[in-house]
Structure 1
Amino acid sequence: MSTSQTEQVGAKTVTYFRKPERSFWQIWNMSFGFLGIQFGWGLQMANMSAIYEYLGARADQIPIFWLAAPLTGLLIQPLIGHASDHTWGRLGRRRPYFLAGAILSSLMLLFMPNASALWMAAGMLWILDASINVSMEPFRAFVADILPEGQRTAGFAMQSLFIGLGASFSSALPYILTNFFHMQQKVGDTRAVPTVVRISFYIGAVAFIGAVLWTIVTTKEYPPQDLEEFRRAKAEKTGLAANAREIFAAIAEMPDTMRKLGPVQFFTWLGLFCMWLYFPVAVAHNVFGANDTSSPLYQQGVEWGGNCFAIYSIVCFAFSFALPGLARKLGRKNTHIICLVCGALGLMSVAIIHNKYVLLLTMVGVGIAWASTLSMPYAVLAASLPPARTGVYMGIFNFFIVTPEILTSLFFGWIMIHLLHNNRIYAIIAGGVFMLIAALLMQRVRDPQTLSVQDV
């Protein structure tokens, strides 16, 4: 029988009922949509910098063209989180946003690789990232909505598993199509983006919508306990001004755990964004020795950079199985610290590696850090959030991810020119340093609840 619990939300006492535990396959189904979402992220992370260079961008211009991802996240995720907190319909609370975002994202994945100018590619990236954010943000709250506290680490770890699987396959797709299916640019095809990249994006579009539909069909949501009260409260909070006031009120009342997790996320994602911006093109220029984007070595280097991303995603996938047990033994906080240090060492070691095969080993540490980043902070955070505000707080938590990305997009081009002399390897090393700072800051965080032994 379910038991009830109460929670203070502002001046109001709210009663919640203990959620039943879910089986492994139920957690699998509710997380499967992240496989498709990661196709959207993975394809752009491995290929967009190269697409920009194919279309004529310089190294110092690349960061500003990446501004779309963090800025759309900053604007959209809190709004979508707040909206989904106050939504209930035939598809439930979060699932309508999964579906809308998946449809738009899949369309953009079809159009993106056919861009013929920089402004077109940049504009479509804005729409793509906005659409991905609409699908992705509610997935974080989805876990907290459905799973009891003792299974949330397993739920977020399962999301990491699918993120790793989706990213590994999507990152390696151009290499697979070139080397195993022997796809080549057709004679007379003058489009800037290679055929294998375009086909990879088409495959990603199908994977995105298909995986999200699987989760929508297989996983039902809990309705509000008092539907009439829910509708009345929603009616009172309609309008942009009312929604903005509630978001700002939530920021003012942010839990202490969330305040201390914020800087950890800030430096972690600063490091990751440096890697995503420059790793594939750094491999092409610094490891393969490509002099310009028209060189065959350049495409080979970018494809190998995609393989490196695939390796860290495969490690993320495999390590996700070990994360719940490791967190039980060491605690979520200590587990995340260790994983971030592994990632920092992996990125900084790129400075001394010039062999493309040895380069793959650096991605082991990055994959460990990536798996933990996608699960441990969210598991710690979810334990500190009032259920009535889970969606909006998950969206606000995204501020600490997108802010460093925005700063990188706006100012890292200047740093590349004046401090790093457009050496892409230096940007990767800087990413490792930022991740090490994040590990140090994690020591300040207090996990509000001990991980339950009722994990899966």
Structure 2
Amino acid sequence: MDHKGGGGAGGELELAGTRGPGAVERGNAAPATKPLSLAKLILACMVAGGVQYGWALQLSLLTPYVQTLGLSHALSSIMWLCGPIAGFVVQPCVGLWSDRCRSPLGRRRPFILVGCVLICCAVIVIGYSSDIGYALGDTKEHCSVYRGPRWHAAIVYVLGFWLLDFSNNAVQGPARALMADLSVGHFGPNAANAIFCSWMAFGNILGYSSGSSGKWHEWFPFLQTAACCEACANLKGAFFIAVILLIFSMSVTMIFAREVPLPPRNSGKADEEDGDGERMNFFAVFKAFKNLPPGMVSVLLVTGLTWLSWFPFILYDTDWMGREVYHGDPKGSPAEVAAYDRGVREGAFGLLLNSIILGLSSFLIEPLCRKFTAKLVWVISNFILFAAMAATAIISVWSLNDYRGSIQHAITADKDVRIAALVLFAALGFPLAVLFSVPFAVTAQIAANGGGGQGLCTGVLNISIVVPQVIVALGAGPWDALFGKGNIPAFALASAFSLVSAFVGFFMLPKLSKSNFKTAGVVGGH
């Protein structure tokens, strides 16, 4: 895709006062960033790994855990509405504000600092939700014998979960934009893309390893209380490590990401005009949709359809392992609960394999796109996604047909079914790497050629991600309940969406030239 000139979205986005990745309002030249060595560029992005560690725990452990507090399988998907709401509101606003921030710390680092502090608060609230609910009167019974709902704990948990998602969104956008800022004119955005995706993969590997270990209650026995048994203590311990890792990685980023601050605002009337401009600029994010450059609408459409395929798996992957593969139930008999917990840990291990393939694939995306074009790579990845989503339904039916377990005996999964499920988790790493790279690369090219700031343009693309998440969060639970209480219906529908997205991408995506992609790479995110 080759967009020249300053029309379309470029003219609209210039209302935000940003002309290019590092530009500032009123058309003033952006302060030049000092060249960084490759080692310092890598360290400047470390916060991505710390945030992704917590995000991996959120994806692998929190949907199963909240069902132990009393939320049903259908209602647990509603909890994830915080993600799209945060993405729709927080990322465009934070992206816009970070483009214009005049803090002595720079444009991006103040938002990274505040967001990381809020993430730490959120995970502590989530980890202690059972203890807080116990103190508020959920039950006086010990957690080892009580199987009823704990509504106070569930409310505290959901509040912490929402704060966590809002805080994650407040960090992710500025972190991506920071890497784009620091790489411009030095190593190039392709280096930023590879570094950012590698830190994401590293954070995922640590997070999913932590979630799959199941040993935190043994290593830190003081985490267990009358309200918090093994599964809860494991969650608490993993999140304590998340706080330590996030503080460390944030500190490294704050030290090595030396931004040059924007000059102070002029006083008086000019100051008032700047304030009026900022209020107007919030609506520029949404006005940009009707003035997008040719081809960008197709990119947003394919991105949205692809995420419609991904979100059912993202929401229910470990729950699927616990229910359909291991035949457990988070609110069933002790044997069923134990089987479900084993499945959740096995699912976290599958996500660990997924992250390894994601990390390796992230280095292959740019060469593949230069050889075959980004359009073809994206379309092929969606066909792979279609096959994988169809395979989840096939594996589920296979597992349920072969199951001959009894609650009087240890419930476990068939060995062949487990292996097939783990292979599926690993195979999904490649299409996920494509999704984390190609759409953002196209958007970066538009930001560079059309005149939009990196922070603002990332927020615009994010809207095509959060809308599908709203649809899935509202519809996946009732859709599964309509055909039964498992995950097969949502995964089957996800397979259909991925097939549609592949064909839409093949016929509608503009051809992104190989040379353009080479200079358009940018960091991607979940």
State how far apart, in whole Å, the 2-side matches of 1:153 and 1:271 are: 27
State how far apart, in whole Å, the 2-side matches of 1:428 and 1:46 are: 17
- Match of residue 165 from structure 1: 202
State how far apart, in whole Å, the 1-side matches of 2:45 and 2:91 are: 19
Aligned length: 450
CA contact under 8 A between 2:479 and 2:489: conserved in structure 1?
no
Structure 1 pair 188–245 and aligned structure 2 pair: CA distance change class (3 A)? closer
State how far apart, in whole Å, the 1-side matches of 2:126 and 2:387 are: 34
- Match of residue 418 from structure 2: 356
State how far apart, in whole Å, the 1-side matches of 2:35 and 2:298 are: 29
Structure 1 pair 187–67 and aligned structure 2 pair: CA distance change class (3 A)? closer
Deviation at 1:112, TM superposition (A): 0.7
Structure 1 pair 53–413 and aligned structure 2 pair: CA distance change class (3 A)? same
List gaps (5 residues or longer) in structure 2. Answer: 20-26, 131-152, 400-416
Q: Deviations over 1:395-422 (max 9, x none)?
A: 121111111111112222221122x322
- 2:249 maps to a residue whose letter is A
Q: Deviations over 1:421-444 (max 9, x none)?
A: 222133233333323333333332
State how far apart, in whole Å, the 2-side matches of 1:231 and 1:217 are: 34
1:422 and 2:485 aligned? yes
1:10 and 2:11 aligned? yes
- Match of residue 193 from structure 2: 156
1:118-267 correspondence runs (5 A): 118-148=154-184, 151-178=188-215, 189-191=226-228, 193-224=231-262, 235-238=272-275, 241-267=279-305
Q: Which moved more, 1:372-381 or 1:149-158?
A: 149-158
List gaps (5 residues or longer) in structure 1. Answer: none
1:395 and 2:459 aligned? yes
State how far apart, in whole Å, the 2-side matches of 1:235 and 1:252 are: 28
- 1:127 maps to a residue whose letter is L
Deviation at 1:172, TM superposition (A): 2.5
CA contact under 8 A between 1:312 and 1:366: conserved in structure 2?
yes
Structure 1 pair 288–337 and aligned structure 2 pair: CA distance change class (3 A)? same
Q: Which moved more, 1:108-117 or 1:436-445?
A: 436-445
CA contact under 8 A between 1:101 and 1:134: conserved in structure 2?
yes
- Match of residue 332 from structure 1: 374
Secondary structure class of the residue paired with 2:441: helix
Larger Cα-atom Rg: 2
Secondary structure class of the residue paired with 1:452: helix
Structure 1 pair 427–37 and aligned structure 2 pair: CA distance change class (3 A)? same
- 1:109 maps to a residue whose letter is V
Deviation at 1:160, TM superposition (A): 1.7
Q: Deviations over 1:304-327 (max 9, x none)?
A: 111111111111112112222222
State how far apart, in whole Å, the 1-side matches of 2:520 and 2:219 are: 49
State how far apart, in whole Å, the 2-side matches of 1:391 and 1:230 are: 26
Deviation at 1:231, TM superposition (A): 11
Structure 1 pair 248–442 and aligned structure 2 pair: CA distance change class (3 A)? same
1:39-54 correspondence runs (5 A): 39-54=53-68
Q: Deviations over 1:148-197 (max 9, x none)?
A: 38832332232222212211221231322429976779776332652111
Deviation at 1:220, TM superposition (A): 2.1
1:434 and 2:472 aligned? no
- 1:50 maps to a residue whose letter is P
State how far apart, in whole Å, the 2-side matches of 1:206 and 1:429 are: 39
- Match of residue 322 from structure 1: 364
1:108 and 2:114 aligned? no
State how far apart, in whole Å, the 2-side matches of 1:21 and 1:345 are: 44
Q: Percent identity over the alignment?
A: 23
Secondary structure class of the residue paired with 2:363: helix
1:61 and 2:61 aligned? no
State how far apart, in whole Å, the 1-side matches of 2:340 and 2:290 are: 49
Q: Deviations over 1:116-160 (max 9, x none)?
A: 322111111111111111111112222332333883233223222
Deviation at 1:45, TM superposition (A): 0.7
Q: Which moved more, 1:32-41 or 1:318-327?
A: 318-327
Secondary structure class of the residue paired with 1:430: helix
CA RMSD of aligned residues (A): 3.2
Deviation at 1:333, TM superposition (A): 2.5
TM-score (norm 1): 0.88
Structure 1 pair 238–429 and aligned structure 2 pair: CA distance change class (3 A)? same
Secondary structure class of the residue paired with 2:446: coil
